[in-house]
Amino acid sequence: MIAPRHSREVGDALRDGAPLVALESTIFSHLGLPSPANAEALERCTGVIRDAGAVPAVTAVLDGIARVGLEEHELERILGPARKAAERDLGVAIAQSWPVGATTVSASVALAAAAGIEVFATGGIGGVHRGAELSGDISADLDALAHHPVITVCAGAKAFLDLARTLEYLETVGVPVLGWRHDWFPAFYTRSSGLPVAHRVEGPDEVAAAFRHRSRPSSGILVTAPIPVHDELDAAELDQVLADALADCERAGIVGPAVTPFVLGRIAAATDGRSVPANLALAEHNAAVAAEIAVALAGG
Ligand code: PSU
Ligand code: MN
């Protein structure tokens, strides 16, 4: 069993029952965002969690040790080169003493659960890939949401995935999808994918209550918070960018865990960095929503 090491601050918060929000590290590494936007994203996400009265807990593997909460001077290590670590890779990253393992959503919810943290914020989750009926490519994020008692707050998933099948998968494995003051599953850069979410919620108390009364103690909940209105990008323009990125991926013969970082890189390049402010805004917004939920959970 994995027993992550806490930072001093996270250990204190856990002992005191103070609100905590876990964060992944892939989004802040070169695999998720270009520099220096990745550092800004980390600063804004941790800052907004603190402003709301909660404690941020960045997950990672550093020098072969699984971590929940990093000390201030360690944060810069996740901004540089890192190896992508999904949940199944955690044991290997420890066994092989990886210098920097950047945790994905699946690894982060696993570490959060192991530490006893119930709320996690990210940008977008992985999902069922387009063409998965042939490739079988379904992100381990979805299985992890179903198997760890953690509330994940995201801005939906990027539309290079098959969002309809992603929602079907979540229904099958029993993960409730709660739209944060919104009726539609968001598509990351845009507020609505055109696909309805199972339920709409109006605030943190409703999410906290739905979590407390879930039927399976070991499973999680997905909260989808759309990108703020003034940060939303143009859907038609994005469709072309996503189609080109997927075609490049196929031509390059990229498969497996390399697919998502490759496609993310092509999208960033094709939008000439214009997608980056939107990405930062939604990540910060999700962290703020997660902190509100963590505060509600701690107070109830
Ligand atoms: N989608 C994004 N940005 C990201 C990721 C996904 O818009 O940074 C990262 C997250 O860490 C997510 C992972 O958990 O990619 C999913 O990878 P895969 O599709 O290989 O499961
Ligand atoms: Mn995959």
Question: Which residue ranges form the domains of the chain, and what is each CATH number?
Answer: 5-298 (3.40.1790.10)
Please say if the pLDDT value at position 300 is more than 70: no
- Distance in Å, CA 206 to ligand 2 centroid: 32
Please say if the pLDDT value at position 96 is more than 90: yes
Helix (H, G, I), strand (E, B) or coil at 73: helix
- Distance in Å, CA 51 to ligand 2 centroid: 35
Q: Whose CA is nearest to atom 11 of ligand 1?
A: 104
Percent of the chain scoring above 70 in pLDDT: 100
- Distance in Å, CA 14 to ligand 1 centroid: 27
pLDDT mean over 90-106: 98
CA distances from 154 to 11, 98, 190, 282, 288 (A): 25, 27, 13, 8, 11
Cα distance between residue 199 and residue 219, in whole Å:
17
Which pLDDT belongs to residue 161? Answer: 97
Q: Cβ < 6 Å from ligand 1: which residues?
A: 24, 26-27, 32, 104-105, 123-124, 126, 139-141, 158, 188, 257, 260, 264
Q: Which of 141, 154, 189 gets mutated to test ligand 1 (max ligand atoms within 8 A of its CB)? A: 141
More confident of the two residues 293 and 235: 293
Cα distance between residue 2 and residue 134, in whole Å:
34
Residue given tokens 């990229």 in the structure block: 254
For the CA of 106, the closest atom of ligand 1 is 14
Which positions are catalytic? 24, 158
pLDDT mean over 41-52: 98
Q: Which of 23, 26, 135 gets mutated to test ligand 1 (max ligand atoms within 8 A of its CB)? A: 26
Give the CA dihedral 232, 53, 61, 256, nearest 10 degrees.
-20
Q: Is the Cβ–Cβ distance between 49 and 69 less than 8 Å?
A: no
- Distance in Å, CA 214 to ligand 1 centroid: 26
pLDDT mean over 222-237: 95
Tens digits of per-residue pLDDT, 232-279?
A: 999 998 999 999 999 999 999 999 999 999 999 899 889 877 789 999
Q: For the whole prediction, is pTM greater than 0.95?
A: yes
From the centroid of its chain, how far is CA 199? 20
Cα distance between residue 47 and residue 56, in whole Å:
8
pLDDT mean over 187-216: 97
